[in-house]
Structure 1
Amino acid sequence: MKDLQKGVRVLSEVIILLLLGLDGLSLLVSTFLPLQPGTFSRIVLLDLLTSITVVTAYILRPGVRDRWNIPVVMVPFYFIGVNLLGANPDSVILAVLNLIKVVGLFIAFRDLAGSVGEFIRTSRLGYGLGLFVSVLFVFTIVFYLVESPVNPLVRTYEDSLWYVLQTITTVGYGDIIPVTSLGRLTGVIIMISAIASTSLITASATSTLLETLRKEQERIDSTRRDEFRRLSDKLDELEMKLERIEDMLEKRR
């Protein structure tokens, strides 16, 4: 039962952290770059879902209920401003509020990381994951800015995101090709970063697995030593009893 509860807790932490990360990146992108109406609508719904989920997690998580960032994280500014009040999605006020919320999401990520965050810290997976996310976020913007004015294949930010995703995962469909020198350089950096992040994640996961196996072996060895020690103590005790019995028999003779 405890293992099941632990598994459910870890799974819920992973889902919450993914929502926080996706929402933060989406809000940053939507603040600075133009998006297709369909993509923007999905970001609004994602932000609303994240707000509800994070507020629920804060309420249920003891020890983090009084943090200052709860009011910031709980408000879906896009949903209220655009869908309910009819505000312009490009409003400066909405942009400022969303940037403040991004900071709150970062703090919430730290507050709600729990055992998953501890695992990421101890296993050093954060380096590989951080590099992957940084490359994805930064170079989608760079590629869009340098290619969209001259490349007919890169008309929206979504096209840039698609190119970076297929490049960083080494899929490379070839449906989007950079035409500028800076765009090609961006592609090269993404490829090298993909190799580096994959190597870091693989090395961290392998190191963590070996460390876990080593600790488990040490636990087994320690248990065996304790069992041998108890057995040795019992044999010594039995030997002492036998000696006393022999002494008693000798005296009777």
Structure 2
Amino acid sequence: MNRSREARHHVMRRGLLYSLALCVLILLIGGVGFWALEPGINTLQDGLWLAFTTAATVGYGDTVPQTHAGRVFAVLVVLLGLAVLSLVTASLAALFVERDVEAEERQIEVDLLREIRALRRQVNALERRLDPDAPQEENLL
């Protein structure tokens, strides 16, 4: 059971890394694309800033696409960026939720084992009452 948790956790971490890498790739491509398409974007840094604000759908308005090609490209960056940024957010949330669930599952397991031990003691006590000469179980879990 512990192995399956570790495997799930490993897959989730890898998923987060893949979605982060994809996010960076989309932002880099977006930055280079805006830098190449837009005459008002003079540096790659400005292109990256426009790509980020566009992908995150923040839209500060300090730099905006002016050309038709830049606007079409912005639509693509919004669609791809929003999807990938949502994946990153979901992967991060899943990591935190998984940790909480694991702790709760461990506590439930401990409580269940405690209850089982108590029930076995009660069963043994009832058996002793019904048949005092019967052998008694010592292993209570």
Q: Does TM-score exceed 0.5, indicating one fold?
A: yes
TM-score, normalised by the number of residues in structure 2: 0.66
TM-score, normalised by the number of residues in structure 1: 0.41
Give the C-alpha shift of residue 213 in structure 1.
4.3
For residue 13 of structure 2, what is the amino acid of its counterpart? I
For residue 27 of structure 2, what is the amino acid of its counterpart? L
Pair 1:171 & 2:62 matched: no
Give the C-alpha shift of residue 202 in structure 1.
3.5
Among candidates 193, 196, 199, match of residue 83 of structure 2:
196
Pair 1:136 & 2:24 matched: no
Give the C-alpha shift of residue 165 in structure 1.
2.3
Give the C-alpha shift of residue 227 in structure 1.
0.7
Q: Describe the shift of the 1:209–1:228 C-alpha distance in structure 2 as closer, same or farther (beyond 3 A).
A: same
Pair 1:244 & 2:137 matched: no
Q: Describe the shift of the 1:158–1:210 C-alpha distance in structure 2 as closer, same or farther (beyond 3 A).
A: closer
Identity of matched residues, %: 28
The one-character-per-residue Cα deviations of 1:58-77 (angstroms, maximum 9, x if unpaired) are xxxxxxxxxxxxxxxxxxxx
- Alignment correspondent of 2:136: none
- Alignment correspondent of 1:126: 17
Matches within 5 A, 1:1-253: 118=10, 120-121=13-14, 124-147=15-38, 151=39, 153-239=40-126, 244=132
Q: Describe the shift of the 1:184–1:235 C-alpha distance in structure 2 as closer, same or farther (beyond 3 A).
A: same
Contact 2:54 2:77 (8 Å CA) reproduced: yes
Contact 1:127 1:200 (8 Å CA) reproduced: no
Contact 2:55 2:77 (8 Å CA) reproduced: yes
Q: Describe the shift of the 1:162–1:209 C-alpha distance in structure 2 as closer, same or farther (beyond 3 A).
A: closer
Give the distance between the partners of 2:17 and 2:121, measured in 1 at CA.
50
The one-character-per-residue Cα deviations of 1:152-179 (angstroms, maximum 9, x if unpaired) are x322222212222222232222222323
**Cα RMSD after superposing both structures:** 2.9
For residue 105 of structure 2, what is the amino acid of its counterpart? E
Q: Which has the higher contact order (CA 8 A, sep 6+)?
A: 2
The one-character-per-residue Cα deviations of 1:17-68 (angstroms, maximum 9, x if unpaired) are xxxxxxxxxxxxxxxxxxxxxxxxxxxxxxxxxxxxxxxxxxxxxxxxxxxx
Contact 2:56 2:82 (8 Å CA) reproduced: no
Give the distance between the partners of 1:128 and 1:168, measured in 2 at CA.
14
Give the distance between the partners of 1:244 and 1:177, measured in 2 at CA.
88
Contact 1:131 1:193 (8 Å CA) reproduced: no
Give the distance between the partners of 2:114 and 2:70, measured in 1 at CA.
65
Contact 2:55 2:81 (8 Å CA) reproduced: yes
Instruction: Structure 1 unaligned segments of length 5 or more: list them.
Output: 1-116, 246-253
Instruction: Structure 2 unaligned segments of length 5 or more: list them.
Output: 1-8, 134-141
Q: Secondary structure at the match of 2:59?
A: coil
Q: Secondary structure at the match of 2:132?
A: helix
